[in-house]
Structure 1
Amino acid sequence: MLDYAALHSFREVLRYGSFERGAQALNLTQSAVSQKIKRLEQQVGGPVLVRMKPLKATPLGEQLLSHVQKVSVLEEQLTTRSGAADHASPLSVAVNNDVLATWFTEVMARFSEMRSNPVHIYNADQTQTRTLLQQGKVMACISQTGTPITGGQSARLGTMNYQLYASPGFIQRYLQNDISPERVMSTPGLLYDEFDVTLLTDYQRECLDFPPSLTTCHWYPSSHGFAKMAVEGVAWALLPTLQVKQEVASGQLISLFPSKQLGVPLFWHWTEQASHALGDFSQVVKHISKEQLTP
């Protein structure tokens, strides 16, 4: 039988990215956690961690991580059915930056009224979240890919819409009366990080019929700061329409191409062995997204 105490330690050091932080979370010494994981590796016959910064799971480790995630769900189901004391086990969810910056706080608020389960959110691009679910690092995720993983289910949530925005000061300084794709793309723009490249180039191709161009872009990996940079006139930015309603209404931001909008479909993915808590969380996600997203 697997050493589940060691598996728990393994999951925590991966969650926090190091032996030191994992040990702190477990209230154990770093040496004790290291010994537990060494015994686990002896038991399963191979390394479970790539010892780098941050720590990563080996292929064998990813299988173990997926297994311990499923066991946690089954334990919660058993606890609920047996009538034992409420066990508010954590729910792990992968969500992208733009959703976190717009409507996911409403999900958290609504769910917290129903249950006391802590929710551990992993922040990743919508093109990467599904991979975290496949690896067993999370129990559910929001992704732009609709195909469910093996042993999982998915449901369409709606479409997140994006437009290109700039401040009046930016328009006066850089564009004046020439708001054309060629002119705009020659002026300073914004990228969140390397994963944001796909979103911007999709907008350039599909909405502006313009070849991918990123050479004038700053990189600024902060959802709140991203919008603020646009408001302050540093650069134009491709932003969710949901995020900047107030700024547009007050005249702080102007849509450069109001008729050009990129729609990104979003899907909710979850494991089939879902706990009651995850089932409730999924219902809240579907309900709030129906209110906030376009069909």
Structure 2
Amino acid sequence: MLDYDALHCLSEVLRYGSFDKGAQALHLTQSAVSQKIKRLELHLGSPVLVRTKPLKATPLGQQLLAHIQRVNVLEDELSARTGISDEASPLSIAINNDVLATWFSDVMARFSFRRSNPVHIFNADQTQTRTLLQQGKVMGCISQTGTPITGGESARLGNMNYQLYASPAFIARYLTKGLSPNEVFSSPGLLYDEFDVALLTQYQSECLGVAPTLKHCHWYPSSYGFLQMAVAGVAWALLPVLQVKNEVASGQLVPLFPDKHLAVSLFWHWIELESDALGELSQCIKDVAKKQLS
């Protein structure tokens, strides 16, 4: 029989990345949490944690994490249907920066009117979110990969469209010889992080037919700051069309190649679970995406 109290401790120390912070969230001492997990490992005959900073789950720990998340949601559904408890379990999901910066607040607004479940969002690139779902760290994710994981389902949401933008001041300063790809990519640009490299190089090769180049790019890992840097004339940036509607309308940003956009397909993935809360969150995501994506 599994020790579900210990599994809950495992879930929290992995959520916060350390015994100390996990213990604080559980209102227990670090020693008590550590002992519970040690007893769990002795009972199972195998480690569930890799003692690094931050803490990581072993393959067995990943399976246990996925299991306890499912149990928590099922208990929540039972409580709601029987009136045993008014508490609602959190729903953990993984979402990428551009979705968070554009339309996911509408999802949260819709869902909050229907359910009281807290939503815990892990921020990760759309190429990495599905891995978090496979590892059992989350119950759902938005990914650019459509194939569902084992024990899960997926639904296509639509395309997130990207264009290359710069401010009029930037164009006047750096692009006086014209808006050719060579001139643009010889001037300062922006990258969000290492995962953004793939998106920009895909745009360069597929939309403009040029060899990928990144040597003039600043790295600036903030969705809000990314947009502000472009508006301020620091650099050009590849941005979601949804994110810059106001800035384009007001003339603060100009699409450098108006007829060239990169369409990135997005998919919602979720684990197969009889959960009304997860089902309603899924429906909210599909409804909002239908209105916002192409």
TM-fit CA distance, 1:80: 3.3
Query: Equivalent residue for 1:137?
Result: 137
Q: Which amino acid aligns with 2:206?
A: E
Deviation at 1:267, TM superposition (A): 0.6
Cα displacement string for residues 219-251 of structure 1 (whole angstroms, at most 9, x for unaligned residues): 111000000000011111000000011111111
- The AA in structure 2 aligned to 1:52 is T
Partner of 1:256: 256
Partners of 1:143 and 1:104 lie apart in 2 by 14
Amino acid at match of 2:224: H
- Residues in 2 aligned to 1:45 and 1:172: alpha-carbon distance in whole angstroms: 67
1:161 maps to a residue whose letter is N
For the Cα contact (< 8 Å) 2:95–2:126, is it kept in 1? Answer: yes
Aligned-partner Cα distance in 2 for 1:285–1:67: 24
Identify the residue that residue 180 of structure 2 maps to in structure 1: 180
Q: How does 1:96-175 map to 2 (within 5 A)?
A: 96-175=96-175
Q: TM (normalized to structure 2)? A: 0.98
- For 2:30 and 2:83, how far apart are their aligned partners in 1? 36
CA deviation after TM superposition for structure 1 residue 77, in Å: 2.9
TM superposition shift of 1:98 = 0.2
Q: Unaligned stretches of 5+ in structure 2?
A: none
Structure 2 counterpart SS, 1:74: helix
Q: Could you tell me which residue of structure 1 aligns to residue 16 of structure 2?
A: 16
Paired residue secondary structure (1:244): helix
| AA aligned opposite 1:193 | D
Aligned partner letter, 2:90: P
Q: Structure 1 residue 83: deviation in Å? A: 4.0
* Distance of 2:66 and 2:251 partners within structure 1: 48
Q: CA deviation at 1:27?
A: 0.9
- State the alpha-carbon separation in 1 of the partners of residues 87 and 23 from structure 2: 23
Cα distance in structure 2, aligned partners of 1:135 and 1:274 = 20
Q: For residue 51 of structure 1, what is the amino acid of its counterpart?
A: R
**What residue number does 2:201 align with?**
201
Aligned partner of 2:34 in structure 1 is 34
The one-letter amino acid of 1:293's match is L
Match of 1:66 in 2: 66
Q: Is contact 2:165-2:230 (8 Å) kept?
A: yes
Asked if the contact 2:177–2:183 (Cα under 8 Å) also holds between the matched residues in 1, the reply is no
State the match for 1:76 in structure 2.
Answer: 76
Q: Would you say the 8 A contact 2:93–2:121 is kept in 1?
A: yes
One-letter amino acid of the counterpart of residue 269, structure 1: H
Take 1:6 and 1:150, find their aligned partners in 2: how far apart are those partners? 26
| 1:235-254 correspondence to structure 2 within 5 Å | 235-254=235-254
Which one is further off, 232-241 or 57-66? 57-66
- Which letter maps to 2:133? L
**In the aligned structure 2, how far is the partner of 1:290 from the partner of 1:86?**
32
TM-score scaled by length of structure 1: 0.97
Rounded to whole Å, the distance in 2 between the matches of 1:41 and 1:214 is: 47
Runs of 4+ in 1 over 2 A off after TM superposition: 76-87
Find the aligned partners of 1:38 and 1:89 in 2 and give their Cα distance: 26
Structure 2 counterpart of 1:7: 7
Partner SS, residue 178 of structure 2: coil
* Corresponding residue SS for 2:266: strand
Q: Greater CA deviation, 268-277 or 218-227?
A: 268-277
Say yes or no: does 1:212 pair with 2:174.
no
State the one-letter code of the partner of 2:54: P
Q: Distance in 1 between matches of 2:19 and 2:195?
A: 28
Secondary structure class of the residue paired with 1:193? coil
CA RMSD between the two structures: 1.0
Q: Give the AA of the match of 1:242.
A: L
User: Greater shift after overlay, 47-56 or 97-106?
Assistant: 47-56
